[in-house]
C-alpha cells in the first residue's frame, strides 16, 4: 500500500520550472492492479518515480508499506561495460537475493541465456528490454510500479511476461501508469485519471476510460492507440 498525502512536485529549474503534480492525495491499495490513466505529459511518470521513492515531493509526503519496486524495466542502474550476468548479480545482491539463482531465473524468463556473457551495452535494444523486464519480475516486490505496459514484446516472451504478471498479481499489488485505454482494460482492476497534475477521477476501469475520452488530449491518445498496438505486437515477432 502506498499513501500519497498532499503531494506537489516541480520539475525543471529557474524559468522552465513547472508544477507537474498539484496537491495529489490518494491511497494505492496493497492488492490488485490499479491503473493511472492520463494523456502524455500529465505527470504520470513523475508520479511513478515519486511512488518508487526515486525522487521526493516538494510538498506533502508519501508512505510506503512493504517492498516497492523501481519502475518496471528501468535500465539506468545497469553499467554498460559490465556483462549482463554481472549486472544481474549486482541487482540480486542489492535486493538480498542469491546472484546465481537470480541470473538463472532471468535467463529462463527472457530466453536470452546466450546474451549473459555479453557486455550490457552490446545487447540490442529489444533484447535489453526483455532482460530488464524479466529482471524486475524476478524480484519479489510487494508493489510493482509500471510506467507503460506490464506485458511487452511478442511471441514466447509476451507469454512469459503474461504468466509472470498473472502470477505476481495474486500476491502483490501493481500500479500501472499509461495513456492507452487498452492496457487499462486488459490488465487493471480499478483506475484513476490524472489530468494536468491532478487526479480527477477514481473508480472503475470503464468509467475512467469514458471520462478520459472526453478530455481533448484523451481523444488524440485513443486515436493514436490503434497504431501503437500494431507496432507493439510486431516488435519481437
Partner 1 sequence: MSSAIQRQGDIVAAIMLRDIRTRFGKSRLGYFWAFAEPLAHMAWISAVSYFLARKAPYGFSREVFVASGLLPLFVFIRVSTKVTSAVSSLSGLRGLSIGTLDLALARAILETLTLIAVMVVVFCVLSIVMGYEEAWPQRLDMLIVSLISFLFLGIGIGFICGVIARFFPMWKIIWSALARVTILLSGVVRIIDYMPPAVREIAYYVPMLHGVTLARIGFYGDSYPQLILDTNYLFGFIVVALFIGLAADRAFRHRLTR
Phi then psi dihedrals of residue 93, to 5 deg: -65, -40
Q: Does 70 bind partner 1 (CB under 8 A)?
A: yes
Identified binder of partner 1 from the candidate list 93, 100, 117, 156, rule CB under 8 A: 93
Identified binder of partner 1 from the candidate list 1, 11, 26, 210, rule CB under 8 A: 11
| Cα dihedral 223→227→229→233 (10° resolution) | 180
Identified binder of partner 1 from the candidate list 43, 57, 73, 148, rule CB under 8 A: 57
Going by their DSSP bridges, the two strands 173-178 and 59-64 should be labelled as unpaired
| Binding residues for partner 1 restricted to 148-207, rule: CB under 8 A | none
Compute the least distance from the CB of residue 17 to partner 1, in Å. 10
Q: Does 76 bind partner 1 (CB under 8 A)?
A: yes
Q: Does 94 bind partner 1 (CB under 8 A)?
A: yes
Cα–Cα distance measured from residue 97 to residue 152, given in angstroms and rounded to the nearest whole number: 25
Q: Does 121 bind partner 1 (CB under 8 A)?
A: no
> In the complex with partner 1, which residue's Cβ is closer, 46 or 179?
46
Size of the site for partner 1 (CB under 8 A): 30
Compute the least distance from the CB of residue 12 to partner 1, in Å. 8
Identified binder of partner 1 from the candidate list 4, 36, 47, 68, rule CB under 8 A: 68
Phi then psi dihedrals of residue 28, to 5 deg: -95, 115
Compute the least distance from the CB of residue 183 to partner 1, in Å. 23
> In the complex with partner 1, which residue's Cβ is closer, 9 or 127?
9
Strands (DSSP E) contained in 12-123 are: 18-28, 33-37, 59-64, 68-71
Q: Is 194 exposed, middle or buried (0-12, 13-18, 19+ CB in 10 A)?
A: buried
The b-or-e profile of 202-233 (16+ CB within 10 A means b, else e) is eeebeebbebbeebebbeebbeeeeeeeeebe
> In the complex with partner 1, which residue's Cβ is closer, 81 or 100?
81
Listed residue (139, 200, 160, 151) closest to 178, CA to CA? 151
What does the binding site for partner 1 look like in residue numbers (CB under 8 A)?
Answer: 9-13, 52-58, 68-71, 74-79, 81-82, 86, 90-91, 93-94, 96
Amino acid at each position: 500500500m502506498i499513501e500519497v498525502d498532499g503531494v506537489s512536485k516541480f520539475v525543471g529549474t529557474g524559468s522552465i520550472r513547472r508544477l507537474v503534480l498539484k496537491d495529489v492525495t490518494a491511497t494505492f491499495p496493497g492488492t490488485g492492479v490499479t491503473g493511472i490513466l492520463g494523456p502524455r505529459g500529465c505527470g504520470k511518470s513523475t508520479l511513478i518515480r515519486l511512488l518508487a521513492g526515486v525522487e521526493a515531493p516538494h510538498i506533502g509526503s508519501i508512505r510506503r508499506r512493504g517492498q516497492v519496486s523501481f519502475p518496471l524495466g528501468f535500465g539506468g542502474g545497469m553499467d554498460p561495460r559490465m556483462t549482463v550476468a554481472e549486472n544481474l548479480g549486482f541487482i540480486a545482491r542489492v535486493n538480498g537475493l542469491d546472484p546465481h539463482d537470480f541470473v538463472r531465473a532471468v535467463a529462463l524468463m527472457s530466453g536470452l541465456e546466450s546474451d549473459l556473457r555479453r557486455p550490457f551495452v552490446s545487447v540490442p535494444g529489444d533484447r535489453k528490454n526483455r532482460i530488464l523486464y524479466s529482471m524486475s519480475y524476478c524480484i519479489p516486490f510487494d508493489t510493482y510500479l509500471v510506467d507503460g505496459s506490464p506485458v511487452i514484446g511478442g511471441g514466447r516472451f509476451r507469454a512469459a511476461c503474461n504468466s509472470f504478471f498473472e502470477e505476481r498479481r495474486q500476491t502483490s499489488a501493481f500500479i500501472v501508469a499509461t495513456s492507452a485505454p487498452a492496457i487499462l482494460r486488459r490488465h487493471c482492476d480499478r483506475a484513476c485519471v490524472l489530468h494536468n497534475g491532478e487526479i480527477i477521477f477514481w473508480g472503475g476501469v470503464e468509467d475512467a476510460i469514458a471520462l478520459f475520452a472526453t478530455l481533448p488530449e484523451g481523444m488524440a491518445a485513443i486515436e493514436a492507440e490503434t497504431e501503437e498496438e500494431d507496432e507493439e505486437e510486431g516488435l519481437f515477432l
